[in-house]
Chain A
Amino acid sequence: MAHAHSHDHSHGHDDGHVVPEATFLKILIALLVLTVITVLAAKVDMGKWNIVGAMVIASIKASLVILVFMHGKYENRILWTYILIPFILLAILIGGVFTDDPFRSHPKPVEVQKLKAT
């Protein structure tokens, strides 16, 4: 009765991929190593490149999580579009805000203090 519906073996297997536990373990080790690297790299001061380096390493870690842990490697174009959209929008948001603030002509801080004193 409950088995009356079809024996469609594609049930639940869009990608049909079962990723072995060993693969996940290798990725975990890579992630931990990258974490150590990013902590050590933070001890070296590279000025404004600090944040770039940290973000690059973080993005490598994120890519590993998305591609392997989250089965991203096996997903189709539609899904990938929706994975990428939030990152693109984040870039647009930060990019847009940064066309504004750094290019404003602000009164210099010392002038603000002068105003306060009067």
Chain B
Amino acid sequence: MSAHATTAHNEELNYLNWKTGIWSWLSSTDHKRICFLYLFTILIFFFVGGIAALLMRLELATTGPTIPSVVTSPHIYNVLFTLHGVFMIFLFVVPGIPATLGNFLIPLMIGAKDVAFPRLNLFSYYLYVIGALIGALSLWNPFSGLTAVDTGWTFYAPYSTTTGSSVSLMVFAAFVLGFSSILTGLNFIVTIHQLRAPGMTWMRLPVFIWASYATAIIQTVATPVVGMTLLLIIAERVFGAGIFDPTKGGDPVLMEHLFWFYSHPVVYIMVLPAFGVVGEIIPVFSRKPLFGYKMVVLSSMAIAAVGFVVWAHHMFVSGISDFSAIFFSLVTFLVAIPTAIKVFNWVSTMYKGSISFTTPMLYAMAFVFLFMIAGTTGIYLAMLGVDVYYHDTYFVVAHFHYTIQGGAVIGLIAALHYWFPKMSGKMYNETLSKIAFALVFIGFNLTFIPQFILGMDGMPRRYYNYPPEYQNMHTLSTIGAFMNGVGYTFALVNLLMTALFGKVKAPRNPYNSVGLEWQTASPPIHENFPETPVVDKDPYHYGTPAHV
């Protein structure tokens, strides 16, 4: 239909240019445009959360007060790490890949015109914006008598239920954000069930879809639990219900159970889509089918399932019973198995393949390496005796940054590079992106390997100061953090500049990838496909006769 229709500048019509003006973007129910709405917003919060981290790292660069004009008191330091955690988790990584790449790719990869509920999709975005604004409001405390929240992103009772800061406002923001997440997950589940193109059977779906499906299930069923828990915190503060207050017969550890019941599965929301991304990138740049497709699918679903029964490994030293601790430690070891299976699959895909070291491939390989470190250090923490020592030290901080940043964020950047030609219709400069990658990779490891050492030496987390013995590692870590920040900025600015001003047009399928999204134009037309595609091949037939 649109093959010969053009814009005023004689370009082919596509989803970017067929309707112009800011209102057409803000009111669009097109999943591809909603991807960009989310992308711009989450990246803003990525930078805000990142600046908070850099301020913390600056303060920690030397023993004693380092930047007393900014970190004027320990309280401000606590506000900074709360801000960093809340913004990075709820406003950046949890929406992360699903709300951006998931939105863009899911309909394309299954051969559909849009998600099941496009208007609900846009509503999810605005719920996210409202939640973010409320969260920001709680930091700039315009209400007299209320100070910025300093509880940490975990909002543990009894401090969160009794302290006089704008906790209620911030947890209400998290509640609204949770609602956004639930509706997105619900939308994706229905989309994947109902809107697959003819011939797109479940076992022909790309692993990114399976990963997004598993993620969507977790989003939909886990988030209500934390939503209600956050409302209960507000009820405690406003009505004094006493469920988490020991002086009224309540149990503060109950709050931790309810909180972590969601907050452990949330880490799989964060990283599963990245597994999917890596599973898409590695076969393309190894020119080989994904090794063990069925096992990758099964392990994605297994991670989602087992992830629901391990939550109390965050609570080993909170006073839970020995019986409980032993049970949760055992099950936590189990959840490592499906992830390890995936690592074997990715590496086996590369074995005897024809590797191209493009930027997405570099990020994907970095992901495998970094996530290996994340996973194995997680095993240490699952061991009860070891965790008694490591809990609340920098060892844990390093572990979860390897999983979230080395995992989910690297996955997001990899995905943005790999699908950039499809999304923008342009090709970015590989040299610049590789330089950025080097800065990110070196900077990241320089930030967090010293933190493993700090943790082993007993440096506690959430402390604004430390004895001189710890300074060397802290200084190294701070240098790494700035390198890391520069690297991300460079990578994203490169992509942004190319999207806005780039001249090199992208072909329909620049990497000769398999997959429905590559069979349509770069960028796609508004309806995604001129005609509904029919699928008759397996998803990863690279290097086989079926692959043209």
Q: Please tell me whether chains A and B touch each other in their complex, using a CB distance cut-off of 8 A.
A: yes
Hey, which bits of chain A sit against chain B, CB under 8 A? Answer: 78, 85-86, 89, 92-93, 96-97, 99-105
- Total of A-B residue pairs, C-beta within 8 Å: 48
User: In chain B, what residue has the closest Cβ to A102?
Assistant: B321
Instruction: List the A side residues contacting B322 at CB < 8 Å.
Output: 103
Give the total of B residues in contact with A, Cβ under 8 Å.
Answer: 22
Contact A103–B323 (Cβ < 8 Å):
yes
CB contact between A89 and one of B221, B251, B323 (< 8 Å): that residue: B221
Does any Cβ of A come within 8 Å of B492's Cβ?
no
Contact B309–A99 (Cβ < 8 Å):
no
Contact B221–A86 (Cβ < 8 Å):
yes
Supposing A85-B221, A104-B319 touch, asked if A96 and B251 sit within 8 A by C-beta, the answer is no
Query: Which B residues from 159 to 209 make CB contacts under 8 A with A?
Result: 193
Query: Which B residues from 216 to 256 make CB contacts under 8 A with A?
Result: 217, 221, 225, 251, 253-254
Please, how many angstroms separate the alpha-carbon atoms of A104 and B193 in the complex?
44
User: In chain A, what residue has the closest Cβ to B225?
Assistant: A93
Query: Which B residues from 228 to 286 make CB contacts under 8 A with A?
Result: 251, 253-254, 257-258, 261
Q: Nearest 6 pairs between A and B by C-beta?
A: A103-B321, A100-B324, A99-B324, A103-B323, A100-B320, A104-B321
CB distance from A81 to the nearest CB of B (A): 10
**Secondary structure of the A contact surface, majority rule:** helix
CB distance from A90 to the nearest CB of B (A): 10
Does any Cβ of A come within 8 Å of B511's Cβ?
no
Instruction: List the B side residues contacting A96 at CB < 8 Å.
Output: 257, 261, 309, 311-312, 324, 328
CB distance from B299 to the nearest CB of A (A): 19
Contact B257–A97 (Cβ < 8 Å):
yes
Contact B257–A99 (Cβ < 8 Å):
no
Does any Cβ of A come within 8 Å of B357's Cβ?
no
Instruction: List the B side residues contacting A85 at CB < 8 Å.
Output: 217, 221
Contact A100–B261 (Cβ < 8 Å):
no
CB contact between A101 and one of B217, B251, B258, B311 (< 8 Å): that residue: B251
Instruction: List the A side residues contacting B344 at CB < 8 Å.
Output: none
Besides A100-B320, A101-B251, 18 more A-B contacts (Cβ < 8 Å) are A78-B193, A85-B221, A92-B309, A93-B258, A96-B309, A96-B311, A96-B324, A97-B254, A97-B257, A99-B321, A99-B327, A100-B257, A100-B324, A101-B253, A102-B321, A103-B322, A103-B323, A103-B324
